[in-house]
Amino acid sequence: MGLLSDPNRRKAITSLTLSVLPDVVCYLAGIAWFMGLAFEPFTLRTYMSENAMGSTMVEERFPSGERALATAREFAAHKKKVGGMPVDWLVKTMRAQGLEVFTQSFSRNLPFPDESKERFVVRGTNVYGILRAPRAPRTEALVLSAPCSPGNSNNQAVGLLLGLAQYFRSQIYWAKDIIFLVNEHDLIGVQAWLEGYHHTNITGMGYTPLQGRAGSIQAALSLELNSDVVTSLDLVLEGLNGQLPNLDLANLFHAFCQKLGILCTIQGKLQRSDWDTVEGYTHSAQTMLLMVLKQASGRPWGEHGLFLRYHIEAASIRGVNSFRQYKTDATSIGRLFEGMVRKLNNLLERLHQSYFFYLMPSLTRFVSIGYYMPAFGLLTTILLLRALDLWVHLGTPTPVTEDGVGEGESPSSPGLLSVLTPVVISHLTGVALYTLPVLSQEMAVEHFPVSETEAVVLTAIAIYTAGLALPHNTHRLISGEGTEQGWRVLKLVALLYLAVLLGCTALINFSLGFILAVTLVPAAACVTPHVPKALSAVAMVLLSPGCTILYCVFLFQELQEVPVSLAEGWMLFLSVISQGILDHALYGSLVYPLLALLVYPCWLLFWNILFWK
Amino acid sequence: MAALSRKWDPLFVLVLGSLVFSCKGDVLKTSNDRTESISATKIEESSPQAADLGDLRQSDEAESNEDRKAFTPPPPNDQFQEEMVIRPLYSGDIYASFQFRTQWDTDFLHDGKKVSHYRLFPKSLGQVLSKFSVRELHISFTQGYWRTMQWGQPFIPSPPGAELWVWFHHTVTDVDGNWKELTNVLSGIFCASLNFIDSTNTVEPSASFKPLGLGNATDHRFLRYATLPREIVCTENLTPWKKLLPCGSKAGLAVLMKSEKLFHSSFHSQAVHIRPVCKDWQCTSTAWELRQTLNVVFDLYTSGQGKKEWSLFKMFSRTLTEACPLASSSKIYVDVTDNPGGELFDLSPSSPLISTAVVLGDRRTYSVYDLTKKETFGQLRSLNLLLRWKGESDDMLRPPLHAERYVSGFGLQKGEIHTCLYNSHPYRAYPVLLLDSLPWYLRLYVHTLTVTSKTRENKPSYIHYQPSKDRLRPHLLEMLVQLPPHSVTEVTVQFERALLKWTEYTPDPNHGFYIGSSVISALVPSIVAMDTNSTRDRPLFSSFFPTKEESSYFMRVYTEPLLVNLPTPDFSMPYNVICLTCTVVAVGYGSFYNLLTRTFQVDEPSAPLAKRLANIIRRLRGVPLL
């Protein structure tokens, strides 16, 4: 640390770090780097890394797409008759196909009603059939799942699943057991099944233990189909907490789409070939930004998302029926699945050869972790430069010449308490934000004319806003007048805290880390008690984590080409908050606790500095 | 009896007739009357004495048959039997089990003499037995997992992969050395990777594996048990197995063993069991018994093309035309218990011979086809059994005992092994012996070992635990657990996954590591004893106290093996590191070596002649030199 402790050397670096120029350059370079990732010449082409899936193209022979659709209609009729999942019919059908069939019932009380899906107390049954591979010792398995959704949706998926089961049963080449899972209540059902299969209980789900197992699951594919014919298939990769499956799974899907001539999309966007035009670039930038936003949300964007926690490579494939001319029938989709499952069946090892951390500006292009991390690195450099600057300032004796008055009393010791107090208070506010909304919903419903869900969301927003008022008053109560040194130390701590926090977040979920860095870093870098109060307070609030979510909601709608008005956007924002809290309770998504317990208190520290007296 | 002798060759009557008639005439008579009844013990799991009685009868028949066919008469006591059992399973699949039994009358262990004369017994195995002083040897190769819930119980259970257990003679001093050599030799004989058996996967079970043959050795120092769950069984293992048969695959039941058909199945298991047995009921002298078994389950769906129809030709793409000429008995049994009135399936040609036996605690009825009889083959001179399904019965079975095992939890640090033991007997509790052998790289937390049944703790009455030593020996856990009636008993133990040295990973580390099956051995209350109807046709005084033989039977259940992922480094990283460091070292070392070894001198080159001359002139003139 000679560099930092030697006063002469310090002076040299002070001259560099004191200026704002490197900060601005870093920030702009970071953003530019990130946006450059969507430019095709800067990205890599995807390629199949896994040897076992590469060269051995097989002929797909799945013949019975029509029959699968007939099964789907039968399933729909039974579903209507029962008014939910036709468990008995499914068991009978699967058993007739020669599978070992088991059921699992589960129940889950949501912490507060889910208004978007209209459920509060969930009870359901999963049905799964295991195709035992001949001469295999039940050590490995693949999962094909389809949800039994309410209403008229996803019947074709179940039909195709059963059709595939029947066809697969008569084949001899299976080396891994194949589990055909039809789950009720979409993700909750999958969560119950996975917890049952792995005999864990992380979310407080009530379920009956599974009777049949098939060893360690190597990969899973989830199928969502709503119509007899589709125009394209959409691949969904983003899973819980921003986890992604191995890139080879995406490559496999793309390879079979190419082979069978099926239109395939990612984020609902087709690939364009004109990368050198502005439209082409915008298109891939939109695709990539959509992926970043979805990943940052930390939600499972399909049933596959929950498998990833268990180290099971999984992806959802969603049939899209738009008004294009080009149609694909169920037989082709069946063949696509047959091909993919056969390739996965050929795997000798778990998928591990290709990337786990990537962004996809299109289905054939990817940005690996080595390419996107510098963008984030440039942003965090600002925090480190600022911290360095503060450290240098704190080390040099107070320049008495400047103001004459200087800081009379003990300039070198700001006191541990004056730093610790805001830190503790901010975090307590964070804890309140994390716990109170769900806990106090009953009270809120009693006293205000709102539903439980609204109560939770509004309490969260209320605590969030109340936090703005609290901490900058309290520190004075405890340790009297704040000193010039005091805010410097506090800011130094806060800067390092934020850098570590964002760094760790970005390692796990790059998108979330990056989005937070884009808004938090400028606020953190600029804030001092000496800037104009009103203007900077507005800027700080606009750059706070809560507003970041709001911008993301609008941006997401814009990118999906369904722009919303301000009022609609606000409603969406509210539902996003309630969904975030629900995702945390139901599936263990970590975005809500991360924001409430760490990011928000960290931002409050900077807010505190702004109002330092 | 008179009819019998008239049918037979006069030569036979002259040579052996008197002997046969004097000692075992009753046996011949019953077989001639075509209402043969075989004892329960003859089919399976026989107690040595009873089996031996049966053997003796068989041996006489063997002599007579072979004499009739004018082969050179064997020395009076070596003999060979072959049989096949076909059992249509509830699931619609079909189970074919072959058994070949060779008995060899020699006693080299007691006398220590060298045996050099081999007839029916394979020489390769005989030499192995004598060289390594083996008392008993059991080896099985299995591809697939026996689905107890659909198929019921197998005649001889075996775990997926290879399993080997050997009792050595008590005179052996270096058991481990013998074991190591033996596994290597067997590896050569069976073309299998048995040489991968070493101290890290060998255990000495204290209670689970008792000798099945003569002698009640209890000192488990002479027992070695190992499994290779990863072993893949294929044609190259079948061929050497077939070569051990006296007739090879040229004649008899073994002609059915075409590998492309045997491996087009749901389950394939082949085994060799060698043990000493008594020769007579007083057990005055002993003999070696070699039992070769092969079990196959054919899948209705994948091979039947949806048609529920079976025939020998469909299963094996062969029909039978003759018995093995060396065999003293050659029979096919078809289980027709569930088909008393022919409503479940049709069997053609039908056989008038019916036998009943108590097999695995259940009274079964079999149609018997005797291949040594000409009329079995009919006019076409070939036997092609045909089985046509009529009814549907595909419910899950409730076997009295079954087990499953799985790893719970996620992540690569810890995990928990769950072993669930199901006792589906409605009112009887019985104890089972659970044997678990886990590799050292699963660090067991033994304090987390729990046994629960019906949500209450179930304290095992006997626990034998041998902790592992890193890279030396596996964990061994044996427990005697009482299973309450109609219950699930769950045995759980937590473990931590060890980080291996980088050379210890297999070439495919991301596939995971196999953990062998646990073995559950139990005396299971038999279904026959539960059957209240069975008392009807027996005298009342015989049925008050259940007799031992009928009330329970020995059963061994293997759980599925486990595939456990260990924390695996990215093996491309060492590659990069090696490349980088090599480059750095090459460049750095080269320049450093250069710098260190080279000596630098200021070299003053002698000036050219013209310059020297010019300088002389300049010095003379007093002008500065060049």
Q: Got the DSSP string for A527-540?
A: --TTS-HHHHHHHH
How far apart CA A519 and CA A559 sit, in angstroms, is 19
- φ/ψ (deg, to 5) at B91: -75, -5
Chain B from 140 to 179: CB within 8 A of any A CB? 143-145, 147, 149-150, 160-161
**Using N-to-C axis directions, what is the helix angle for B48-68 and B18-32, rounded to 10°?**
100
Tell me: do B322 and B252 sit in the same domain. Answer: yes
User: Which residues, 6+ apart, have CB-to-CB distance to B22 below 8 Å?
Assistant: none
B299 touches A at CB < 8 Å: yes
What are B6's two structure tokens? 């008239």
What pairing do the DSSP bridges indicate for beta strands B513-515 and B562-564? antiparallel
Residue B45 lies in a domain: no
Q: How far is CA B472 from the centre of its chain?
A: 25
Chain A residues touching B514 at Cβ < 8 A: 139
Percent of chain A with pLDDT over 90: 50
Residue B591 lies in a domain: yes
Type of residue at B366: Y
Name which of A137, A200, A311 is nearest B144 (Cβ-Cβ). A137
CATH number of the domain that residue B453 is part of: 2.60.40.1170
For residues A368 and A6, the answer to whether their CB atoms sit within 8 Å is no
The pLDDT-based confidence of B546 (bands split at 50, 70, 90) is: low
Residue B138 lies in a domain: yes
What's the confidence (pLDDT) of residue B31?
38
Chain B residues touching A91 at Cβ < 8 A: none
**Using N-to-C axis directions, what is the helix angle for B175-190 and B235-243, rounded to 10°?**
100
In degrees to the nearest 10, what's the CA dihedral of B605, B609, B615, B616? Answer: 130
Please tell me the distance in Å from B137's CA to the nearest CA on chain A.
24
What are A188's two structure tokens? 């909750």
3-state SS class at B161: strand
Q: Is B407 exposed, middle or buried (0-12, 13-18, 19+ CB in 10 A)?
A: buried
For residues A401-414, give the mean pLDDT: 44
The pLDDT-based confidence of B397 (bands split at 50, 70, 90) is: low
Chain B interface mutation, best of A93, A139, A194, A346, highest count of B Cβ atoms under 10 Å:
A139
How far apart CA B242 and CA B225 sit, in angstroms, is 24
Tell me: do B176 and B281 sit in the same domain. Answer: yes
The pLDDT-based confidence of A561 (bands split at 50, 70, 90) is: confident
Chains A, B: CB contacts within 8 A come to: 90
CB count within 10 Å of CB A597 equals 17
Final residue before a domain boundary, out of B359, B389, B419:
B389
Tell me: do B443 and B304 sit in the same domain. Answer: no
Please tell me the distance in Å from B80's CA to the nearest CA on chain A.
30
Type of residue at B526: S
Tell me: do B457 and B384 sit in the same domain. Answer: no
Chain B from 255 to 274: CB within 8 A of any A CB? 263-268
DSSP secondary structure string for all residues of B519-569: EEEEEEEPHHHH-GGGGTTS-GGGSSSPPHHHHEEEEEEEPPPEEEPPP--
CB count within 10 Å of CB B111 equals 9
DSSP secondary structure string for all residues of B106-127: --HHHH-------SSS-HHHHH
The pLDDT-based confidence of B17 (bands split at 50, 70, 90) is: very low
Final residue before a domain boundary, out of B357, B389, B421:
B389
DSSP 8-state class, residue B273? E
What's the confidence (pLDDT) of residue B392?
62
How far apart CA A279 and CA A556 sit, in angstroms, is 18
- φ/ψ (deg, to 5) at B305: 50, 40
DSSP 8-state class, residue A328? B
3-state SS string over A550-566? HHHHHHHHHHCCCCCCH
The pLDDT-based confidence of B319 (bands split at 50, 70, 90) is: confident
How far apart CA B473 and CA B200 sit, in angstroms, is 4
What are B46's two structure tokens? 């026989």
Tell me: do B480 and B538 sit in the same domain. Answer: yes
For residues A455-470, give the mean pLDDT: 86
What's the confidence (pLDDT) of residue A391?
81
Q: Do B508 and A350 touch (CB under 8 A)?
A: no
The H or E element spanning position B584 is helix B572-597
What's the confidence (pLDDT) of residue A481?
57
Residue B514 lies in a domain: yes
What pairing do the DSSP bridges indicate for beta strands A216-224 and A313-320? parallel
End-to-end CA distance of chain B: 139
pLDDT at B61 over 50: no
What's the confidence (pLDDT) of residue B51?
37
Tell me: do B315 and B462 sit in the same domain. Answer: no
For residues A329 and A552, the answer to whether their CB atoms sit within 8 Å is no
What's the confidence (pLDDT) of residue B395?
56
pLDDT at B30 over 50: no
List, as own/partner pairs, every contact residues A503-507 make where C-beta atoms lie below 8 angstroms and the sequence separation is at least 24, other chains included. A503/A380, A505/A594, A506/A373, A506/A376
How far apart CA A122 and CA A128 sit, in angstroms, is 19
CB count within 10 Å of CB B261 equals 18
The total domain count for chain B is 3
The pLDDT-based confidence of A303 (bands split at 50, 70, 90) is: very high
Residue B431 lies in a domain: yes
Chain A residues touching B264 at Cβ < 8 A: 172
Residue B125 lies in a domain: yes
How far apart CA B497 and CA B412 sit, in angstroms, is 7
What's the confidence (pLDDT) of residue B196?
93
Nearest chain A residue to B410, by CA = A310
Residue B159 lies in a domain: yes
The pLDDT-based confidence of A14 (bands split at 50, 70, 90) is: low
Tell me: do B266 and B301 sit in the same domain. Answer: yes
Range of the domain at B583: 573-599
How far apart CA B460 and CA B481 sit, in angstroms, is 5
What are A422's two structure tokens? 């805001």
Name which of B266, B404, B561 is nearest A134 (Cβ-Cβ). B266
For residues A75 and A155, the answer to whether their CB atoms sit within 8 Å is yes
Q: Do A170 and B306 touch (CB under 8 A)?
A: yes
Tell me: do B198 and B289 sit in the same domain. Answer: yes
Q: What is the mean pLDDT of chain B?
A: 79
In degrees to the nearest 10, what's the CA dihedral of B502, B508, B511, B516? Answer: -80
What's the confidence (pLDDT) of residue B547?
58
Q: Do B301 and A309 touch (CB under 8 A)?
A: no
Chain B residues touching A352 at Cβ < 8 A: 510, 568
Tell me: do B146 and B265 sit in the same domain. Answer: yes
For residues B158-184, give the mean pLDDT: 92
What's the confidence (pLDDT) of residue A407?
41
**Using N-to-C axis directions, what is the helix angle for A21-36 and A510-526, rounded to 10°?**
160
Name which of B267, B300, B512 is nearest A216 (Cβ-Cβ). B512
Tell me: do B128 and B255 sit in the same domain. Answer: yes
Residue B11 lies in a domain: no
For residues B571 and B500, the answer to whether their CB atoms sit within 8 Å is no
For residues A219 and A351, the answer to whether their CB atoms sit within 8 Å is yes
Tell me: do B369 and B437 sit in the same domain. Answer: no
Tell me: do B444 and B539 sit in the same domain. Answer: yes
For residues B192-204, give the mean pLDDT: 93
Q: Do A170 and B560 touch (CB under 8 A)?
A: no
Q: Pick the range with the lowest mean pLDDT from A232-241, B316-325, B387-396.
A: B387-396
Nearest chain B residue to A211, by CA = B404
